[in-house]
Structure 1
């Protein structure tokens, strides 16, 4: 998972690291150049001074310098030189010896040998090393100082630069609390943040228009569909009261009544989904899951005609939920209807437990990898043929998510078939 940081934090850190890195690079370059130039100049100067002393002085005669100390010896008088100097070749050497003050000093010793004459020029670099240490201390202090300045400057700039963005976010949060949307662009300058505010205003207007159209459409659909369904239900009820009806006509009227009731329940459930509104039963009533399941089974019996299929309701415990019966009816109608549809022969068992309801069939079953995919829109199970649009299980999943239920489907472990379950939490 990628780490998420605030934009202000990233700006401050980037600015501080840039300032610190640039200061450190400058300090390293300064120290490196100083060291190289110093060594080159000192070595060249010492070697040239030793060569000059070798050419001007005579063997055995001490040679001096206003800046350096040294001597010129021959092969016969080389014993007068310190033991550590006697076998040194021509060149510049680093040595550590006690000085006149008794302390150890770091020297550069230039040795030049020619025609039996050996010149020694000694240069004390301890003072240069002290100066180098002081320079390093100053440079390190400067790096940290510039780093702190960069950090402070980054904090100030980030606060200055991101202030309009923070103000924009604060106004958006206030809109969410107040429940109303106001124009954002007039509160900001004509810059990038102003362009963002203008784009948000345009998006909010389009979204508001879309929500209004959706709300009006839902209201129109609810009114226009409920009215004819109410007429169908009342007319069917009146017709059933006629004494001269045959049993066949009475059964058909019952089917019309059940279809009308299912359509009304489906409209109510779809309206709840469109509004993302979770509504419980009226007056605090609860819904009996077993009773709703029995009604759904009765409404699905016409699908079992000419099928060697038996549907059984098993109630192992009383179960009531705080949800409208219409919502549960829509969910169970899809699950039980699918089980009856795909089971050509055998048995469909609807089992009610204390916290769940299972729909168990003996149909062709499903693949384990397809169990979750069947709840997606437009996905149909194998053997669905040309009927259906693959929306039933998707509607069931959305209803269950709205009420916090857990719906799932899995193959039967013992034989062919599938098990659809709703766990009420």
Structure 2
């Protein structure tokens, strides 16, 4: 398939256009030179004939000289010639009668001032006449044919050479770029060889090599940091979970205190799962296994886990799914992504409903909360960007919502949607947002 944006094709088109322009230039020069030479020869011949006719016939209104020459005194010339004629030889196409019928030929003419008398000199072009009576013009016509044929061959050969040369040269010019592309695709195995080239490709290879080195160092530091943090946090989390189990066994008879120990144990387990998910995000996607995971179960569990955020709100929540849906994904990553969306919906909804809808291609989280102002849309998935809300126990009215997106303090860091977007990119899924006409937001995770 021919692509105009390909560098190789751009080289080929450039060579071809250059050849076309060059040929057009030479053709134009040839046509101009041929025309001027023909005009000068005709003009000289007609002036010579005017002088001969005056010497032989004296002063007449019209001089006729065979073959094809007719000289008019200006006042007796046809009106159309008077209109068009000037001191330069011009050419027009006319129809003439011959023995075999009518034919189209060229009429050459120009105006000439002799003393106080003005003439219009004309010459009707006919090859047989030229050959028989005007040997100079006959030689010129013969040479003109030779040069015209040679020029046609030269133009065709030039274009063919341009096509062949563009094919060969474009491959040679782009070969270093293709080598650079192959080196980058092969994990930079041959990139070091290209960095020693003195050409622009060498400069580009060195820039890529330096950037890759910085990225590798950055990724290595990030992986080491994530690994170190997870290792250091697992030990205290294990201690917390063990202590909470011991405490729960000793406070089994105290229902009030048992609820707190259960919260401690649950939070510690959730933190451990978050650490596992962060470790998975630090690994390359192709190195992760993707087991069959139930989307319905994770959605229900996340709603139950986060329902404490609705303790003082008149908000209902539900999962809508026609059947059991599943996807090939690590459950830790799906849980973190869906949990962040549900958490945001719970936190920013004071009244109404939060609904999780699951179908064969997407997971949708819809709320009737505050929604997202238009000014924040460009920064929706940026880190540390969030709605700033002020502490106020007064419920929000509809008018107040339009002016100020704040009635209470929502704890958070502004990382939730950024993490969800990162997980989507990691898994090759898509996250979209749509504002609801009745208020609130709808986030959709397309997993197929």
Match of residue 417 from structure 2: 393
Aligned counterpart, 1:342? 348
Matched, 1:263 2:287: no
State the shift of 1:43 in Å. 0.9
Aligned to 1:380: 386
**Secondary structure at 1:88's aligned position in 2?**
strand
Corresponding residue of 1:68: none
Residue 195 (str. 1) matches residue 207 (str. 2)? no
Q: Which deviates more, 194-203 or 119-128? A: 119-128
Partner of 2:10: 10
1:132 to 129, 141, 144: 144
Normalised by the length of structure 2, the TM-score is 0.70
Structure 2 counterparts to residues 18-417 of structure 1, below 5 A: 18-48=18-48, 50-51=50-51, 54-55=54-55, 72-74=56-58, 88-89=72-73, 124=134, 125=137, 128-173=140-185, 175-176=186-187, 181-185=189-193, 189-243=197-251, 246-277=254-285, 279-280=288-289, 286-312=292-318, 316-350=322-356, 357-366=363-372, 374-381=380-387, 382-383=405-406, 387-413=411-437, 415-417=438-440
Shift of 1:25: 0.5
SS of 2:380's equivalent? helix
Unpaired runs of 5+ residues, structure 1, are 56-71
Range moving further from structure 2, 375-384 or 229-238: 375-384
For the Cα contact (< 8 Å) 1:97–1:106, is it kept in 2?
no
The question of whether the paired residues in 1 share the 8 Å contact of 2:194 and 2:201 is answered with no
Cα gap change, 1:88 to 1:127, in 2 (>3 Å): farther
Q: Any idea what SS the aligned residue of 1:296 has?
A: helix
TM-score, normalised on structure 1?
A: 0.73
Deviation sequence 1:19-44 (CA, Å, 0-9, x none): 33123202211220232133124313
With over 3 angstroms needed to count, the CA separation of the structure-2 counterparts of 1:25 and 1:240, relative to structure 1, is same
SS at match of 2:282: helix
The 10-residue stretch of structure 1 (198-207 or 354-363) with the greater mean CA deviation from structure 2: 354-363
Paired residues, number: 395
Instruction: State how far apart, in whole Å, the 2-side matches of 1:115 and 1:241 are.
Output: 135
Helix, strand or coil at the partner of 1:300 = helix
What are the superposed Cα offsets for residues 348-367 of structure 1, whole Å, 9 maximum, x if unpaired? 44456676554444423456
The CA deviation string for residues 74-96 of structure 1, in whole angstroms up to 9 with x for no partner, is 57998997899787337999897
**What 5-or-longer segments of structure 2 have no aligned partner?**
78-88, 124-128, 388-404
How much does 1:369 deviate? 9.2
Q: Using a 3 Å threshold, how does the CA distance of structure 1 residues 412 and 37 change in structure 2: closer, same or farther?
A: closer
Distance 1:86 1:355 in 2: 90
Instruction: Name the counterpart of 1:62.
Output: none
> Distance between the aligned counterparts of 1:184 and 1:345, measured in 2?
62
